[in-house]
Structure 1
Amino acid sequence: MSENKKRILEASDVSIVFGGLRAVSGFECELYEGELAGLIGPNGAGKTTMFNMLSGIYTPTSGKIMFWDRKGNPCLINKKKPNQLNKMGIARTFQNIRLFGNLSVSDNVRIALHASRKYNSIDALFRTPRFIRDEKRMTATVEKLLDLFHILNKKDELAKNLPYGEQRKLEIVRALASNPKLLLLDEPAAGMNPQETEELMNLIAFIRKEFKLTILLIEHDMKLVMGICEKIMVLDYGKVIASGTPEEIKSNPQVIKAYLGSEAVDA
């Protein structure tokens, strides 16, 4: 992968300490353009904490996180804020859905386009031609994304009234609206039934191909992880205990003992 793909993220010896608790210790990771990778491990292993460092919510206590932005420039992002990282090309979803429930489906997506708007407050006040052009552009972008995910017919509904699976879709659509290079998905299949999870697998594969993204996901559903990820990293007590292909992870004795168990391997 590294021979013919450009690196877009590198975490080197990343650790974070809360009080006396070392939640993540010495995390190492390299992601390349177009890669679809998974981060797995038991509850409390530090997976979401690591995502929070990659997306600017937490600042690492030590170590370095480098990200290659949309122009291909490397940047140390340890102390960058979420909005700064979003502008650079990192977007994420959350384990617990964070939609604006009392806003429409289309307005939830439009919010993500705020940073790309080309008009100012004066344009908005006087409804200048630039304002009208940019509003049309954003409306077209929103509707194109909703149509790709087959929820355009729900654009005027309140987000809170969507079925659970479609709320998950909408959160991914909103993340994609910011035109990221790297998409972080935190337990996208949480709360889904088997049919919805199967649809999600196809959706993630579609997103990767359609938007030419690098995707890193946290997930407990091993069928999903093993079915779509090329590379998997396993965290346990804040440390990476294994990294490799799905086949390598399934047969790793340390991973089986710490997380998968014999039933998961046989499944």
Structure 2
Amino acid sequence: MAYSKDKVVIQSRDGKSTQALSSLNFSTFQLTRTKNEAYQVDFQAYDDGSLGFALLQVENLVQYDGQTYVIKQATDDNTGGVHNVTVTATHIFYQLNNRFQYNVRQGDNSFSLTDALNFLLTDIGDGYSYQVHGKFNSNKTLTDFGNTSIIEGLSTIKGAFGIYAIVPDNKVIHLYDKDSYVTNTRKVFRYRNDTAAVQLQYDATSIVNTVQAVSTMEQPAFSPFKVQDADSVAKWGIKEGARVESDSVTSADAMKNLASQSFVLEPSLAMTVTSAGNE
């Protein structure tokens, strides 16, 4: 994605100091946004003695294009008389990696999507909220739901309810079905017309279509068994993942549903397009 010379603002974690970053090296600025996986900015700045540069410290905030990011990595480099700091800042949504819902709904419980989200986000605070876009009418069974980071809990909900995309807008978590998320922009990139380069990258390393389900209760509720997605196995062969265990699930059907949530049925595909505008 293209960098922009829009203003980049750095803010202290307590909000008491805010300063535009005057020493940003724009050629290094990169915004990375991958559906359901990553949302971050990376850049380098040089020491110009400004407050903005001094604020480039971990856990301080980066404001860019209406969104807030949290500095998670800062590399302070002094080489040849030049002082630079290289920064990786993840979207504020990912602060929920460090927030937990410690309560647990023991056993198999039926949830609507809003019930599951309300339970997960209860007492989290910090201004986080959600909006649902699309139709998710049927209830789903979640087993021992809780005692999880909010991000992992959202991942569980995504798998159970078939959510197509989770898109943060600062602290508002938007959840979409496919019809609500996918939009035909009618924009076309044509190689060697308005596009200088097109690159497709396929990655099959993450495929998982077979796992072993194991009851770890004192008296196992069922013998270990394998859970497979037949269509994915036929297409890609057997791709086994780590076994899935539970010390509370008593139903083989519920265990099969739990185990299948760990599947990754298709290779990932990344497309990089470089346009004439260097985007």
TM-score w.r.t. the length of structure 2 is 0.26
Q: Higher relative CO (CA 8 A, sep ≥ 6), structure 1 or 2? A: 1
TM-score w.r.t. the length of structure 1 is 0.26
